[in-house]
Amino acid sequence: VQRSYDAIVVGAGIVGLSCAWRLARTGRSVLVVDRGAPGSGASGVAAGMLAPVTEADFGEAALLELNLAGARAWPAFAEELAERSSLDPGRRASGALVVAADHDDGLELRRLGEFQRSLGLESRWLTRREARELEPGLSPRTAGAILAPGDHHVDPAATVAALATAFEHEGGELAVAAEVALETAGGRVTGVRASGTPIAAEHVIVAAGAHSGVIAGLPESARVRVRPVKGQILGLRGPGGSHPLAARLVRTLRCYVVDRGDGRVVVGATTEDRGFDERVTAEGVFRLLEAAREVLPDVDELEVVTARAGLRPGSPDNLPFVGRGALEGLVWATGHGRNGVLLAPLTGTAISALLDEEPLPAELGPCRPGRFGALDGQSLALRSATPVPAP
C-alpha cells in the first residue's frame, strides 16, 4: 500500500469493485479498502438477480428506468469482464417466471402483469398449463404465472472474483483494514485512515454498502441516509445438470428461487428492518422453505448447505446515491437496496465518467446524493455563487 492514490474506493463489494475496475482502466492509481475480503458483505450473500421487470413496483418509475438501464449495461460488462479476467461471471439469460401459488396470488399477479405491460415491459400471462409446460417442476396447484423473458441472473461471488482479478490486472490494489475512516482537512476529504494509517487520495468513493451511512470521519451534515435492510437467504444443493429444479428464475410474492444450473440453488430472501443484525432465524428459514416448496415441491429433496443473512444498503426512496458528496473529494456509490448487483456495471461507468468531468447517464439524475437535504458538490457550488444579502 502506497501513501497516496488518485482514488480510494471504500468497499470491495460488487459496486465498489465495478467502480474501481473502471477507474483503474482510465490509468488512475486506485486502492480498494474493505474490512473484509472482496465480496464479504452483501455481494457474497446476494442471489444475483438481473430482474428489472419482476422487481418493478407501483409508483417507482425512476427506479424502473434506472434498473432497465442497469440491465442494458450487463451483457457487454459481463463479456468484457470475462475477457479481462479469464473468469466467468456466471450470467445466465434464463428468463423469469412469477408464479401464483393459489387463486389469490393469481388475482394479484394478473394486476401486476397488466401494470408491467402498461409500462411497455416485456411480460406475458401464462395459464397453469403453459407455465408447467415451461417448468415441469411447478406444483399442479399453480394458478398461472407471469413470464418475463428478459429477467435473469448472474453469480455475484463469481462476478466479484472476476472483478478483483480484472482490477488487479489493471494495477489496482486491494487492502483489508480492521477499521476504515474518512480523513478530512480544510473542508475536503483528503483520504482514509485504514487501521490507523493515513492514506491520501484525490477522490474517495464510498461504496461501503449498508455501512455507508455510518462511515467514520464525516460530519453529520455530509452523510447520506443509508440504512441496513436485512435479507436471509438459503443455499441448497440439487442434482443440477439435466434435472434442474427450474430452468428459469422462479419467483412468487413471497420468495425467489435461482437454480444456477450446476446443482447450486438459492432461495431468498426476507426483507427485515433490524439494524445491523445478521443472525439467521428459524422463522426466516422456515418462511423461505415454505414459500419455495409451495410452488416447487421438489425443494423438499434438496440438501440445505448454507443459511445466511446480508444487509442491503437501503435508501428512503429506494434509489441509490451516486455522485459527488457535500465535501470536495467525496463521492458516493451506495444505497442500491435490492438492486446492487443489477446496478453495479452502470454505477462503475458513471463514477468513472464523474471523475472525468463527463455527464452521468440520464437515469442516474434522480440519484443525486444531496436530494434529501445534505449538500452535494453541485448545490455547494450554487450556494457559493449566490450573493448573501446583508443582514
Residue nearer to ligand GLY on the CB measure, 52 or 106: 52
d(CA 201, CA 9): 10
Characterise 332 by phi-psi region: left (phi > 0), alpha (psi -120 to 50), beta (else).
beta
Residue nearer to ligand GLY on the CB measure, 60 or 170: 60
Residue nearer to ligand GLY on the CB measure, 205 or 341: 341
Characterise 48 by phi-psi region: left (phi > 0), alpha (psi -120 to 50), beta (else).
left
Residue nearer to ligand GLY on the CB measure, 263 or 313: 313
The nearest distance, CB 349 to ligand GLY, in angstroms, is 21
CB 325 within 8 A of CB 222: yes
Residue nearer to ligand GLY on the CB measure, 52 or 263: 52
11 binds ligand GLY (CB under 6 A): no
Residue nearer to ligand GLY on the CB measure, 231 or 377: 231
Report the residue from 248, 312, 336, 371 that binds ligand GLY according to the rule CB under 6 A. 312
> How big is the site for ligand GLY, counted in residues (CB under 6 A)?
6
Rg (CA), the chain: 21
Residue nearer to ligand GLY on the CB measure, 223 or 338: 338
d(CA 68, CA 73): 9
Q: Which of 117, 118, 184, 177 is nearest to 147 (CA)?
A: 117
Contacts (Cβ under 8 Å, ≥6 apart) of 179: 35, 193, 194, 195, 196, 216
Using CB under 6 A as the binding rule, the residues of this chain from 358 to 377 that contact ligand GLY are none
The nearest distance, CB 50 to ligand GLY, in angstroms, is 9
The nearest distance, CB 135 to ligand GLY, in angstroms, is 20
Using CB under 6 A as the binding rule, the residues of this chain from 202 to 241 that contact ligand GLY are 231
Cell of 266: 438459492
d(CA 124, CA 338): 24
8 binds ligand GLY (CB under 6 A): no
Q: Which of 194, 206, 178, 209 is nearest to 278 (CA)?
A: 209
Distance of CA 293 to the CA centre of its chain: 26
The nearest distance, CB 172 to ligand GLY, in angstroms, is 27
Show the beta-strand stretches assigned E in the chain: 4-10, 30-34, 49-50, 96-99, 124-126, 145-148, 152-153, 173-176, 180-185, 188-194, 197-206, 227-237, 249-251, 256-259, 264-268, 303-314, 321-324, 330-334
The nearest distance, CB 276 to ligand GLY, in angstroms, is 17
Report the residue from 11, 89, 263, 268 that binds ligand GLY according to the rule CB under 6 A. 268
Residue nearer to ligand GLY on the CB measure, 22 or 251: 251
Neighbours of 165 (CB within 10 A): 17
The nearest distance, CB 269 to ligand GLY, in angstroms, is 4
The nearest distance, CB 239 to ligand GLY, in angstroms, is 25
d(CA 104, CA 114): 16
The nearest distance, CB 51 to ligand GLY, in angstroms, is 7
Residue nearer to ligand GLY on the CB measure, 174 or 269: 269
49 binds ligand GLY (CB under 6 A): yes
Residue nearer to ligand GLY on the CB measure, 249 or 354: 249
Using CB under 6 A as the binding rule, the residues of this chain from 83 to 122 that contact ligand GLY are none
Distance of CA 301 to the CA centre of its chain: 30
- Per-residue DSSP letter, 3: S
Cell of 224: 447520506
269 binds ligand GLY (CB under 6 A): yes
177 binds ligand GLY (CB under 6 A): no
The nearest distance, CB 55 to ligand GLY, in angstroms, is 7
The nearest distance, CB 242 to ligand GLY, in angstroms, is 28
Binding mask 336-355 for ligand GLY (x = CB under 6 A): --x-----------------
Binding site for ligand GLY (CB under 6 A): 49, 231, 268-269, 312, 338
